Amino acid sequence: MLEQFCLRKDRPRYRVVDIGCGSGLLAQTARDLGFVYLGIDNDPGRIEYSRETYGDAPRVTFLAENCVLGSFEIGERDIVILNGAAHHLSDTQMKTLLAKISLCAGMIIADHLKVDQGHPLHAFLPSVLQTLDFGDFVRPFRYFEALWGFTLRDSEAFPIDLASITLWTYFCNLYYPAAGRRETHENS
Ligand SMILES: C[S@@+](CC[C@H](N)C(=O)[O-])C[C@H]1O[C@@H](n2cnc3c(N)ncnc32)[C@H](O)[C@@H]1O
């Protein structure tokens, strides 16, 4: 989805803001695709590891901050990504974050597809793994279909496998700021 976001020639003008970047796995991909990259995580140890691994050069930077309280600013050249991070944020934190990033160019959320409670055997392994992943806020997919201030444009689901066993299923959603908000911003 990131690749399709804009033409290759325009990518150096866009910044990928990776919220809850962990050990910065996405930094290399974003850099290879031609984007500027900012990774944000509230775990200083992971940020230190990311800086050592990917450098902290002008086009790749890392910030040790809480994404809800942090001082970073998001503008219309920012593509915000929450890869496995939304299930660490409460509804209140999600709403605060969505307001904070409402002027972004677009947002990609990849997270757990909540297991179907109607198939307990099928759901057992994913639900245990989701719990171990500290997924306090693993939510039903409908939560992500209507996010405050954003319009869902594209969605796909894919399994995360280990040795051909599906550990869990992830979704990846692409959003744009809701038209009204974007017009308001452009006209201001
Ligand atoms: C499951 S990991 C995903 C890491 C990375 N995005 C990946 O896909 O490999 C979730 C990350 O979100 C970070 N995180 C949780 N709450 C956060 C917050 N309020 N602000 C910033 N980062 C947060 C955690 O420290 C952790 O590194």
pLDDT tens by residue, 96-154:
999 999 999 999 999 988 765 555 555 666 666 666 665 678 888 889 999 999 999 99
Residue type, 162: L
pLDDT digits 0-9 by tens, 18-73: 999 999 999 999 999 999 999 999 999 999 999 999 987 789 999 999 999 989 99
Please state, rounded to an integer, the average pLDDT across all residues of the chain: 86
Task: Name the pLDDT band for 188 (thresholds 50, 70, 90).
Answer: very low
Q: Ligand 1 centre from 186 Cα, in Å?
A: 31
- Closest atom of ligand 1 to 68 CA is 19
Q: Of the residues 47, 66, 68, 88, which should be mutated to test ligand 1's pocket, given the most ligand atoms within 8 Å of the CB?
A: 88
- Long-range contacts, stretch 154-161, CB < 8 angstroms, 24+ apart: 154/1, 156/1, 157/113
Is the minimum distance from the CB of 25 to ligand 1 under 6 angstroms?
Answer: yes
pLDDT digits 0-9 by tens, 92-105: 999 999 999 999 99
Q: What is the pLDDT of residue 5?
A: 77
For domain 2-112+140-161+170-180, the CATH class is alpha beta
- Closest atom of ligand 1 to 46 CA is 27
Q: What is the pLDDT of residue 29?
A: 93
Q: What is the pLDDT of residue 19?
A: 98
Q: What is the pLDDT of residue 22?
A: 96
pLDDT digits 0-9 by tens, 174-184: 999 986 444 44
Q: Where are the domains of the chain?
A: 2-112+140-161+170-180
Q: What is the pLDDT of residue 135?
A: 64
Q: What is the pLDDT of residue 122?
A: 55
Write the secondary structure of the chain as one string of H (helix), E (strand) and C (coil): CCCCCCCHHHHHHCEEEEECCCCCHHHHHHHHHCCEEEEEECCHHHHHHHHHHHCCCCCEEEEECCCCCCCCCCCCCEEEEEECCHHHCCHHHHHHHHHHCCCCCEEEEEEECCCCCCCHHHHHHHHHHHHHCCCCCCCCHHHHHCCCCEEEEEEEEEEEEECCEEEEEEEEEEEEECHHHHHHHHHC
Residues for the chain: how many in total? 188
| pTM confidence score | 0.88
Q: Ligand 1 centre from 124 Cα, in Å?
A: 24
Looking only at the bridges linking them, the beta strands covering 106-112 and 150-162 are unpaired
Is the minimum distance from the CB of 70 to ligand 1 under 6 angstroms?
Answer: no
Q: How far apart are CA 21 and CA 23, in angstroms?
A: 6
